Amino acid sequence: MNKLIILASGSGSNAAKIIEYFENQDDTIVSAVLTDNRHAGVLDKCKSLNIPTLYFSAALFRSSGFIDLLNSFGPDLIILAGFLKKIPSEVIAEYPDKIINIHPSLLPKYGGKGMYGAHVHHAVKENNEPESGISIHYVNEHYDQGQIIAQFKVALDSQDNAEQIAKKVQQLEHLHFAPTIATLLKNNE
């Protein structure tokens, strides 16, 4: 049985799609969703989906206790779904090639510290990009620089504003993130 842990800080739309995707599969379960935000929308989504959640403090996140917390779940894969903090190098060393992230651009474009959510979409609009998309990648010690697992593109119209770009990109996230996780798990068997 593959066990997934999701780290999320925000509304939880990607986390919910992942949970829903795997809820009727016999070989994979979402063991828990962990958050660093007591008021994250993901908490309500998980409650309605009957998925255990756990809040952790900034102090725990920066300590060896965070690795102990992750180890207590025995995850096969740790998924960042709207989680904004940089993962400590000790955690990456403990889980090499077992932590993945989704980024709302076609990396290496529009990645790095401070490039998340609306910031990315505004930058894409400002630069009149003809396309945008998502990158699913392994997490390493640097923001958005881990090996890319998969990318999916969407054409943009010159009239699209940042909010419209965000909607197009989110549709890609919801369509492709969970199946990419499933493929990754199958390839690692």
Residues carrying an active site annotation: 103
Relative to beta strand 148-155, strand 131-138 is antiparallel
Relative to beta strand 28-35, strand 2-8 is parallel
Region of 180 on the Ramachandran plot (φ > 0 left; ψ -120 to 50 alpha; else beta): alpha
- Give the phi and the psi of residue 127 in degrees, each rounded to 5: -95, 10
41-48 vs 13-22: helix axis angle to the nearest 10? 20
Cα–Cα distance between 58 and 127 in angstroms, integer?
Answer: 35
Q: Rg of the chain's alpha carbons, rounded to an integer?
A: 16
Listed residue (86, 56, 59, 49) closest to 73, CA to CA: 56
Cα–Cα distance between 107 and 111 in angstroms, integer?
Answer: 6
162-187 vs 117-126: helix axis angle to the nearest 10? 120
